[in-house]
Amino acid sequence: MSKQRQPIVGFVGPMNARKTLLLLDHIFAAEAVGETVLVYKPQVDDRFGVGIVRSRCGGTHEAIPVPESPQGELKAQSSFILDDILKNNKKPTLVAIDEVMMFDDDIAEVVVSLSEAGIQVAYAGLNMNYRGEPFSSGIKELMSISTRLEVLSARCTYSHDGIHKCGAPATMTQRLKNGEPDSYDSPLIVIEKFATEDQKPVFTYEARCLTHWSISGTRPQKTTLP
């Protein structure tokens, strides 16, 4: 007897858009009614410690760190989730995945397998990279097969005087290198680094509206409007 496909719920948007907060809320709501939840996140994302999902707005949950994929680019190995469940005979009702854009391109296939095996899936992550492009083909595919998708916005934190902030709806993630817009040609995944004493290049991210989001360097364009 085949199992019924289960819902696939996504929370996407730029940084600071409450993606992880809503994922945690989804997890806690499932646990409150006795469901078994497994949470996965990329091992490479160590900003808040390995093995924990934390929202900037508050709230934490234990997470299983997913090792790096052989596909490279610091991405996490999507198939690890299926292996972990099968090899360890785990029986989750819900699998939650944080920072989903940092998984390799097999992530959509893995999520469909989970859904078809009778397991609900919820995920959170950036829909676009700092270049304003879809973060990965994995996230593009995942967004299109989701049964519920919330595209969230933040508030623009651009400031022209260091005091007042724009505050408009922010849909973009701005990467800054030493405080200046980063170049198009920089690596796609760079984990946020704050100022260090040795003054090496420092990468930070801010939520920005379309007016205040910018990128240096040249974006390859197939079609140019006049």
Q: Establish if 156 lies at the interface with Zn ion (CB under 5 A).
A: yes
The one among 112, 145, 168, 176 contacting Zn ion by CB under 5 A: 168
Min separation Cβ 166 and Zn ion, Å: 3
The least CB distance from residue 211 to Zn ion, in Å, is 5
Q: Of the candidates 106, 105, 104, 115, which has an alpha carbon nearest to the alpha carbon of residue 148?
A: 115
* 96 counts as binding Zn ion under rule CB under 5 A: no
Instruction: For Zn ion, give the closer residue by CB, 59 or 169.
Output: 169
Q: Does 166 bind Zn ion (CB under 5 A)?
A: yes
**Distance, CA of 137 to CA of 159 (rounded, Å):** 33
Task: Report, in Å, the least distance between residue 215 CB and Zn ion.
Answer: 15
- Is residue 169 within the footprint of Zn ion (CB under 5 A)? no
26 contacts Zn ion (rule: CB under 5 A): no
Alpha carbon distance 98, 83 (integer Å): 18
When asked if residue 158 is in the footprint of Zn ion (CB under 5 A), the reply is yes
Q: Which helix (H) or strand (E) holds 110?
A: helix 107-116
Total number of residues that touch Zn ion (CB under 5 A): 6
CA distances from 218 to 182, 186, 211 (A): 11, 11, 18
Q: Which of 35, 73, 99, 180 is catalytic?
A: 99
Least distance (Å) from Zn ion to the CB of residue 12? 20
**Rule CB under 5 A: is residue 181 a binding residue for Zn ion?**
no
Which CB sits closer to Zn ion, 176 or 188? 176
Catalytic status, residue 150: no
b/e per residue 115-148 (b: at least 16 CB within 10 A): bebebbbbbbbbbbbbbbebbbebbebbbeebee
Q: How far apart are alpha carbons 32 and 42 in whole angstroms? A: 25
- Least distance from Zn ion to the Cβ atom of residue 214, Å: 11
Nearer to Zn ion, 119 or 156 (CB): 156
Residue 25 phi, psi (nearest 5): -60, -40
What is the full DSSP assignment across 3-57? Answer: PPP--EEEEEESTTSSHHHHHHHHHHHHHHTT--EEEEEETT--TT-TTEEE-TT
Q: Which stretch binds Zn ion (CB under 5 A): 76-84, 101-109, 177-185, 208-216?
A: 208-216
> Of the listed pieces 44-52, 58-66, 159-167, 197-205, which binds Zn ion according to CB under 5 A?
159-167
The letter for the amino acid at 15 is M
Interface residue list for Zn ion (CB under 5 A): 156, 158, 166, 168, 209, 212
Residues classed as catalytic: 99
